Amino acid sequence: MLVLVAPGQGAQTPGFLTPWLDLPGALDRVQGWSDAIGLDLAHYGTKADADEIRDTAVAQPLLVAAGLLSAEALGSPAVGAVAGHSVGEITAAAYAGVLSETEALKFVRTRGLAMAEAAAVTETGMSAVLGGDRDVVVAHLEKLGLTPANINGAGQIVAAGTMEQLAALEADKPEGSMKVVALKVAGAFHTHHMVPAVDKLAEAAQALSPADPALKYVSNKDGLVVTTGADVVARLVGQVANPVRWDLCMETFAELGVTGIIELSPGGTLTGLAKRALKGVPSVALKTPDDLEKAAALVAELTA
């Protein structure tokens, strides 16, 4: 079974959208989305620097746009399940037919703005802890007042909290961990710091007309397969203030019988985790359109 995954915030790099806009019709689609949400996605995806696209209000719609462009470029492979990491869940929801592309972009624009506003209240951030026993790392983070905001599996847990708390983590790493890496995000996402954003997303969700997923949709909340559009949207609303359990998502992929994984643009992070947690499962990360040929070869291999 082929699983399609969409990356979360921090995967973006300056200019990463440039080669995707060279595909037929891509620029027109992006310009239409830009008009719909009042944000020049083409500019930010091609000309903006790292600091500009680190802005939560910019990064999130940019990532969803890139994911949707790369999904379109894939054609129509026989995907058995879909999931996204954090904001990537919105990309996954659009791919699964729960939301239209325009609904997804409008919703993620609201999400990015609301989370940026919540993040501005207190100076916060996120850092990845690499290595170490999960229970030991989680206990250490909680001792420092940090939240294990992303439990990603494959020896990676992302801590979130104030900059002072993160500095304390850098100075006092959990026993058994290899290193702590600051992430390119502008807030403590998936923690209590994001609670103010939940109400705004709940209000925005009332304007949506979600359909039930057309394929298996695996949720960050608990790794469960969600079968109704209303449940998908409810989880998208609440997830901004709750931890991402990507480890449980990968466990579900294994239970479903995953035989291949394709990560939408800007790919690399989730396939990296899968190579360690789902050993032997082939994967392709769509970093540029040049990777589409590898993805097609994987699909052909799985369907042979």
Residues marked as catalytic: 86, 190
Sequence letter at residue 82: V
Cα–Cα–Cα angle for 6, 55, 194, rounded to 5 degrees: 75
Query: How is residue 193 annotated by DSSP?
Result: G
Side-chain half-sphere of 47: how many Cα atoms within 13 Å? Answer: 4
Length of the chain: 304
User: Do the Cβ atoms of 206 and 177 come closer than 8 Å?
Assistant: no
d(CA 208, CA 297) in angstroms, rounded, equals 36
User: Do the Cβ atoms of 244 and 253 come closer than 8 Å?
Assistant: no
Helix segments in the chain, DSSP class H: 26-37, 41-46, 50-54, 56-74, 88-95, 101-119, 134-143, 163-171, 195-205, 229-239, 246-256, 269-277, 292-303
